[in-house]
Amino acid sequence: EMVNEKDDSQRKKKESIVDLSKFLDKKVRVKFQGGREATGVLKGYDQLLNLVLDGAVEHLRDAEDPTIIGDETRNLGLIVARGTAITVVAPSDGMEQIPNPFQNAEE
């Protein structure tokens, strides 16, 4: 609910800066503190960024190097993702892999 109970710095803004309603019923990719990643259909959310994901799938990482997201996955089903642990949210559709877009070679 958008109620002006207290001021937010100088402005009265109760909404979060991203409107998750446009992602409802769409697949989203969520990254977590600690490096875990999951995708799922966004069924619900709240101000604190807690998310309800349906048919969620965790993308497992390499045993050797946990920074690499491999192909293995594990099914999580219907989950609530805790907002406090979420680091990144992005729509899964519209995400495509591309070759190096930067002119200069990456270091």
Partner 1 sequence: LQLPLSLLRTAQNHPMLVELKNGETYNGHLQSCDTWMNIHLRDVIFTSKDGERFFKMPEVYVRGSTIKYLRIPETVVDMVKNEVQEVRRHQKDMHKQKKSYGGPGRGGQSNRGGRGGGNAGRGGGSGRGGHTNNK
Parallel, antiparallel, or unpaired for β 69-81 and 86-91?
Answer: unpaired
Give the C-alpha separation, 14 to 105, whole Å. Answer: 43
24, 78, 80, 90: which one contacts partner 1 (CB under 8 A)? Answer: 90
Locate 89 and state its tokens. 């949210």
Per-residue binding letters, 30-69, with partner 1 (x by CB under 8 A) = ---x-x-------------x-----------------xx-
87 in contact with partner 1 (CB under 8 A): yes
Q: What angle do CA 50, 52, 53 make, to 5 degrees?
A: 130
98 in contact with partner 1 (CB under 8 A): yes
101 in contact with partner 1 (CB under 8 A): yes
